[in-house]
Every structure is written in structure tokens, then in C-alpha cells.
Structure 1
Amino acid sequence: MQIIIVGGGKVGSTLAEQLSKEGNDITVIDRRYEVVQNLLNEFDVMGIVGNGSSHKVQIEAGIENADLLIAVTGSDELNLLCCLIAKKAGNCQTIARVRNPEYNEEMRFIKEELGLAMAINPELASAVEMARVLRFPTAIKIETFAKGKVEVLKFKIGKGSVLNNIQVSQIATKLKCDVLVCAVEREDDVIIPTGNTILRENDIISIVASPKHSSQFFKRINIVTNQVRNTMIAGGGEIAYYLTKQLLNMGIEVKIIEKDKARCEELSELLPKASIILGDASSQQVLMEEGLANMDSFVTLTNMDEENILLSLFARRVSNMKVITKISSIAFNDVINHLDLDTIIYPKYVTSEYIMGYVRAMKNSIGSNVENMYRLVENKVEALEFVIREKAPVLNKTLEQLDLKENLLIGCINRNGEIITPKGQDVLKLGDTVVVVTTNTGLKDISDILRD
């Protein structure tokens, strides 16, 4: 596909990297010469320095032959204007990043009037992900497939867990649970497990199951899955606003600590059922005075990544609560992953995943049959949802007949809403959707799961 990205910031560069890796022809437009030059040096993309809302610049970028334009500049209005011009100049699909909460109330109208394929709000999308984790605090991360009928949940094997020293193949018989372990993170290594893989304490594992079966699984391993009763939020920005609205609707008590008086007053009007505290969330004294040690959960949403990390580490030290850390810019993933931070949310990745999902759906209509994709372990493990169609090389074959690539497994089969945990004798039928988990990146078609 030919894709134009307007805006080379955090989200734009992430999209450029991911979309180019998947074989798309990418052109990035940005006003800043150094930004465009850096992208050209790092990734296999084209670049144009200029105003993305200019008809002339869009023509130069190839809008007349483009399949999709994605506008992710720092200005909502500029993004919408870019998309409007693109629809007139090239009649391609358009996606705009729109962050202002005022526009969020009118998003359906804006999408219809401007003909947008998607309008993505990074703060709202991040808040949705955080709320999902607080509903199920045992999990580090939760992804959904098959329209919510299948979940991929990541969690850590704690001290004294019944999963310690158990073989993966024994889980179904010993625990009588219909779940599949699809990935194991052990220190710096990531393993796509076989039945002989032995789980260990401190492993971070990902399981595939229906919501019903995952709930049964956690009960069998004596892990409480109830949502948190209350949460404290450090920082009162847009994500805090969206998250609090969702949590209050879930019956969760929320306390926000914000140091800007005007913002506190604004939040008090917008969120009358929440407790809004004027104070500096970076102060340990303030946090303790406001009852951090008695909270079920803590979410760090300040504008500084370093502050969010330190606050999260402090919270983990004073209480065994659920902690969510927002990281916007810091790129030291190897260092961060070795810290005891619990759940980390990167808004730029959340945004890019939403957009990548739409791009794959577009490609699905022109050859590829990837319905959905998530990265379970950053840049190491992908979970993809495929549709089994006519002439697929896996059609009407049992799983044990398939010569699958190494480091790849089929996590589940969705057959008309019935979720099947796959075994060797199961047959892939026309119309099935399957979730494939693998360390082999760039799979585009179900045939790619087979050895060459």
C-alpha cells in the first residue's frame, strides 16, 4: 500500500517504522528538515519537508495514487485539514489524530462530514487500555481478539505460585483449565513454549483463552481477579480526565493529585464525583498524606517520564498495589523492562496499534488476511488474527499435519463464536479465525505460518 504520514513526531515516526517494515510504501511529510532527515536515515521511507495541508505538497507526496493518508501532527485542526484536502485531491482513505476533548463529543459528526476512516484520540485510547487493566489488576496487559471473545493476558508468576515448575502440557490436566500459554518472558529471553516448557517463578507469561476460561484459570491458581476499588492518579492531564470518567462509571473511587490550581478547578467541574487534590504528586509526603499506602492502585500520569517511573517505584515499595506507569518519550526499553514497574503504557504505541489495525484491515481487502495484530512483547512477539479462506493451504487440515515455522503456535480457533483451544487433531475450516503467536515478524497471510 502507498501511505502518506503527515507529522514525524513520536507517533508519526513509530508508524513510519512499523508500516515500512510490513512492506508498505511510506512517504512522511513534516515542516522540520531535521525530523525528515532522521526518518530517512533510520527507516526505508521517502520524506518531504513542507506543510502537509498544502495541496501542492500532497501532490508532490503522491496523494493521487495513495491508498491512505494519516495525519498525526501536533494540531487537531491541521490534521483535519490535511485529511479534507487529501479526500479532494486523491480520494484516498484518511485517518486523523484528534486530541481535544471538545472535539471528542462531536467525533461522529466530524468523521461523517469529513469522510474520515478513523479519528484516533491517543489520550482516550491510553485511558481505555488503563481502565481495562484496572478491571483485571492481576494482568500486566490485556488484548482482545475475535470481537472480545478471546483474550490474551500477560501476568507474572509470583512466589509460591502453583505454576512454578509445572510443564505447559500439564496445565490442562492438573488445573483442568482450557487455556494455552503462548509466550514466556524469562529475563532477556522470550520463548514460544512447547508442551515440554517448564514454567518458573518470576516468568512473565501470556495466555490465550475466552474471558470465561481465563477467569476460571486465575481462580484455580488462587489469583484474585476482581477490579480495584479505588485508585490514585498523579497528574491531572487529559488521560487522567478520560481515565477517571471510565473508572467512575465502573464504580471505582478516584483521587487525582494535580499541582496546577486552575486545572484542579476545571477538573472539579468536569468530574464532580472524583476527589481533586491541589498538591505536588512528586512529593512523597503529599502522596502518603493522601493515603497512597491504602490505595488498591496508582497511576502515574505526569508530563515527565522520569517522574512517573520514580513515583511508580516508590508506590511499589510502600504497598502491594496495582501500578500503571505512563511513558511518552524515554527509549531505554531494556533498562525500563528490568525495573519493577508492573504495567507500562506507551501512548504512542497504543495509538499506532489502533492505526496499524485499520491498515491491516485495508490490506485484508486487497490480498492480506490479517484481521488484527498486537505486540505482546515489544518488537519480539506478535499475536495475529487470521481468517481461513478458500484456497488457503491450511484449509481442512489438522494442526498436526501443518509444517509450522519454528517459534510459532496457533493460540486459538474461533468458529462461529465458539472458542476452541487447539489440539493436534483439530481441523481448520472455512471461515474460522485463528490467533497465531510468533516471534517471526511480518506475517501477512495465513500461508506465512508454514515453512517455505
Structure 2
Amino acid sequence: MYFQYKGAIIALFTAREMCSRQEKWDNIEGKEMKIIIIGDGKVGYKLARQLSTEKYDVVLIDSDEKKLRFATDHLDIACVAGNGADAEVLKQADIAHADLAIACTSEDECNMLSCLIARKLGARHTIARVRNPIYYRQIGLLKEDLHLSMAVNPELIVADEISRLLIFPDASQIETFVKGRMELLELPVSANGVLEGMRLSDMYRKFQIRLLVCAVERGEDVRIPDGEYVLKAGDRLHIAASHKDLERFFKANGKRREKIKKVIICGGGRVGYYLAAQLSTLGMQVKIIEENARRCEELCELLPKATIINGDATDHDLLVEEGVEEADAFVALTGMDEENIILSLYAKSQNVDKIVAKVNEDRRARMVEEFGIDSIVSVKTATADAIMSYVRARKNSQASANIETMYQLVDDKVEALEFIIKSATEYTGIPLKDLALKPNNLIVCIGRKRQIILPSGEDCIEVGDSVVVITMEKHIEDIRDIMI
């Protein structure tokens, strides 16, 4: 067991525990990258789980002994108890040999200080989670002095995601690639809709729009379909296209919802602030319901175009009074998953057309989807995806292509990765029809200068391209990994 006494970190083990801990260190000696994670919260644990699964050498630091005990019981990692901003604790975690230190505690100041000390002690790269809008606005100045390789603002990432969902309300989920010029969205096939019963090859001919259905969910089954695949009501399509072509597709589909004008946001935290600022800029009428009176005063100053209501969003009468029935979109962003789920179900009962709920716990997110609330966002997942993109890019930094962006889709069953082609290799300059890909892998898009190419068999990959790949395999680090 681990505990802290007068600032000194003491670890006590039974003989059996000592052997178990030594076995863990022995088992990870052959792993390629050493990564130290500071903070065993939701994000830290998710990162530790994913990185250990991908055979990285992971050390988790946290001052909570119970959390560390749970982590050691469930993951193939080593743990050190203590404050991640304490140089002695970092030394105990062997920070001098770390390829990467990730600070994701709940305190920005601790994260930035931990990264600074980690670099001073020999860590090659550092990532800090920075959530405070004031700090993040000046992160460009801070990064150099703190020697940060990357700063992640999870709430801003999630706000961007929700904003895209409100621009394309028919979509359940939207991810962006090639600096925002290509979008990958999730679209449910509705009963008696235009798409029901249509073959994919007929769909392309009917709409005459440059788009690609790159994955389909049908119940528990997920596949990368061919042109003979016939769509059924309830299928969830993952469609890749440019923003303009998606607009044309929704218009041609005939089922596009009305443009969103009135938005109610429940919860005035950081996500709510970032989202309201973005939506106000887009000309939407934004109303935030926040229980904390002091926070309401801050939001009134920060968001002069938004309406700020001091009250409990779970109060039925308050929601009715504030016009939930007239809202075009309802976004539940309180600090509790359960509240967000209940609020979303209530909004659904009031026939609000577009509902987005923040649900961090993966099991709860799957449950909510079964209730028919199809737009779920997770701060934890957004943070982990951003950091995992960087980790894989560092791991294959000597390869011919670097990972620029990565998203986990379909309950982590599918990955979407964007590669930047750095140098000529055996697959550049070769028509795609002559490249043998493994099953369940698809080259979705090529970004070349300012052009977006949904490739045919005659197209080639060239040096400097951004190449987006959809795969059902795990741990893809190079485009070569999807080829036979």
C-alpha cells in the first residue's frame, strides 16, 4: 500500500505485493516509450488504460492511494504515490528516462508546474491539461517558458464539437480532419426516409455528391461497407465529405432540420462558456441556466450577447418558464452525468429537435444512446483522443508518415487517423487500386494543398499529402500497417 507521511513518500508491500510490483516493472522493460501520467482522475485513468493496452511503459502518479490501488489491480502499469509537482516524486517515477510526461490533474497550475519540473529533470516531452480560459488565451507565451510540447484544453475541444453538431443538427457526431476542411459525421438512417432500402452505389448515383460512407453500425455489428451494402432503418452511417458537400447532401436528402436559432445551455462551466461564445458569434440566441450566482455574474460580463439565468436547471417550472418548448437545441452540460441524462430526456419529451448531453462515463453514454439521445459528448474522451494522437505521432516520428489527428469511433471499435506524408516511400506515387489493403481498412480522403480528394482507384498518395484512414484494427502507427 502507498501513503504519504510528512511529505515523504513511503511504500509498504507484503512479500507477495513486492513480487507483483517487480513483475510489472519487468514486464514493461521491453516496451518502447516510457510515459509518466500525473493525475489519476477520469482522464488519467483512461489514458493509462489505453496506453498500457498498446504496450507503452506507463507510470501513474497520484496522491490518492485508493485510486492507485485500483489502477494497479486493473492495469499493467506501475504507480507512485505523491504530488506530481514534487521533484522527489518525479525522480521516484524515473522521470529522467521518460519520453513523455502528461499532467492531467484537476489543477492547471499543478499541471504546468509538473511539466516544467519534469523537463528540468530530463523528460523529453511534456503535455499539460490547461482548462482556465485566461491561461489558455496566453498559452502561446507560456508554452516556450514552460517547455511544453502540447497544451490540451478539453472543454474547448468539446465546445467545438458541440458547435459543429448544432451547425449540422442531423448528425449525431462530427469529427474534423485536414485543418477542418474534411468532416466525418455520424448520421442515423430514419424509418421511411430517403436512404432506407438504398444500396450505397445507388446513393452515390442519386445524389451526385462527393461523399463516402466509410463505416456502418447495425446493432452490435460494425463494418466498412462496399457499394452493394443495403441501408436499413436504424443503421448509423459514418460519412466523410467536405463541409460544402455535406450541406448539399443534407439539402438533397430532403430531411434537413431547420437552422438552429435558439439554444438553451444547462450549466455555465467552462464548456458552457466556450460554447456560448462560439454560438453567439454565429448569430444564435443563447440562454445559459446556471445555479451558482457568482458564476452567473462572471458569465454576464464575459458573454454580453447571451442571456444568463440564475437557477436550477433540473427545476421543471424554470425550464418551462425559460421556453424549453420553443428551443431549437438543448445542451446539458452540468457537472453530473445523471443530471444531464435526466435533463436530456425531459427536453426530448418536450419535442426539442436537437439535444446534446455531456456524459463522461462510457457505460452511461451507451445507455443514453439506447434512449434515443444520439448526440453524446465526453470531455474525458476528447482529451484522451487529442493526447493519443500526439503519443502515436511521437512513437512513429522516424516513419515516412506522422499521425496528425486520431479519433475513436463506434465505442472504440473503429479508429479514424490522419497521416501527414513526410517522405517518398513504397506506397507514394502508386495508384490506390494497386495497393493491397488489409480487410476492414479504408483510405477515406487525401488532402493536397487546399484540395480535398475522395480517392478513386486511379488516385495516388504524394509527399506532403494528408491521408485519412478508417480502420477496425488497433494500434495503427503508420500507413504501412494497413497494407498487406
Q: Using structure 2 for the length normalisation, give the TM-score.
A: 0.88
Amino acid at match of 1:128: D
Could you say which residue in structure 2 is the equivalent of 1:370?
Answer: 403
Could you say which residue in structure 1 is the equivalent of 2:104?
Answer: 72
Could you say which residue in structure 2 is the equivalent of 1:407?
Answer: 440
Does structure 1 residue 217 correspond to structure 2 residue 249?
A: yes
Amino acid at match of 2:411: E
Amino acid at match of 2:406: M
The SS at the match of 1:96 is: strand
RMSD: 2.0
- 1:34 deviates by 2.2
- 1:91 deviates by 4.7
Match of 1:63 among 80, 95, 102: 95
Return 4-13 or 360-369, whichever deviates more. Answer: 360-369
The SS at the match of 1:58 is: helix
Return 389-398 or 336-345, whichever deviates more. Answer: 389-398
Could you say which residue in structure 2 is the equivalent of 1:3?
Answer: 35
Q: Deviations over 1:346-396 (max 9, x none)?
A: 111111122222223323423363232111212111111224455644333
Could you say which residue in structure 1 is the equivalent of 2:140?
Answer: 108
Could you say which residue in structure 2 is the equivalent of 1:228?
Answer: 260
The SS at the match of 2:363 is: coil
Cα distance in 2 for residues equivalent to 1:37 and 1:169: 53
Q: Deviations over 1:122-162 (max 9, x none)?
A: 22222122112112222111111112221111111223321
Cα distance in 1 for residues equivalent to 2:480 and 2:130: 37
- 1:399 deviates by 2.5
Shift of the 214–5 alpha-carbon distance from structure 1 to 2, 3 Å rule, reads same
Match of 1:16 among 35, 48, 53: 48
Amino acid at match of 1:394: Y
Could you say which residue in structure 2 is the equivalent of 1:394?
Answer: 427
Return 326-335 or 297-306, whichever deviates more. Answer: 326-335
- 1:344 deviates by 0.5
Cα distance in 2 for residues equivalent to 1:264 and 1:211: 35
Return 88-97 or 368-377, whichever deviates more. Answer: 368-377
- 1:102 deviates by 3.2
Q: Is the 8 A contact 2:97 2:123 kept in 1?
A: no
Cα distance in 2 for residues equivalent to 1:29 and 1:267: 35
Amino acid at match of 1:365: S
Could you say which residue in structure 1 is the equivalent of 2:152?
Answer: 120
Does structure 1 residue 33 correspond to structure 2 residue 65?
A: yes
- Larger relative contact order (CA 8 Å, sep ≥ 6): 1
- 1:249 deviates by 1.3
Does structure 1 residue 196 correspond to structure 2 residue 196?
A: no
The SS at the match of 2:179 is: helix
Cα distance in 2 for residues equivalent to 1:347 and 1:300: 13
Cα distance in 2 for residues equivalent to 1:410 and 1:344: 27
Amino acid at match of 1:251: G
Cα distance in 2 for residues equivalent to 1:155 and 1:439: 19
Amino acid at match of 1:83: C
Aligned positions of 1:242-281 closer than 5 A: 242-281=274-313
Could you say which residue in structure 2 is the equivalent of 1:428?
Answer: 461
Cα distance in 1 for residues equivalent to 2:462 and 2:304: 52
Shift of the 97–428 alpha-carbon distance from structure 1 to 2, 3 Å rule, reads closer
Could you say which residue in structure 2 is the equivalent of 1:449?
Answer: 482
Shift of the 385–24 alpha-carbon distance from structure 1 to 2, 3 Å rule, reads same
Cα distance in 2 for residues equivalent to 1:270 and 1:417: 35
- 1:261 deviates by 2.7
Structure 1: unaligned runs, 5 residues or longer: none
The SS at the match of 1:434 is: strand
Could you say which residue in structure 2 is the equivalent of 1:171?
Answer: 203
Q: Is the 8 A contact 1:392 1:447 kept in 2?
A: no
In the alignment of these two chains, the number of paired residues is: 451
- 1:171 deviates by 1.9
Cα distance in 2 for residues equivalent to 1:265 and 1:389: 50
The SS at the match of 1:337 is: helix
Q: Is the 8 A contact 1:5 1:70 kept in 2?
A: yes
Cα distance in 2 for residues equivalent to 1:100 and 1:240: 13
Q: Deviations over 1:181-222 (max 9, x none)?
A: 011112222121111111112211111112222222222112
The SS at the match of 1:375 is: strand
> How many percent identity over aligned positions?
45
Cα distance in 1 for residues equivalent to 2:107 and 2:71: 20
Amino acid at match of 1:219: K
Structure 2: unaligned runs, 5 residues or longer: 1-32
Shift of the 374–386 alpha-carbon distance from structure 1 to 2, 3 Å rule, reads same
Cα distance in 2 for residues equivalent to 1:277 and 1:26: 45
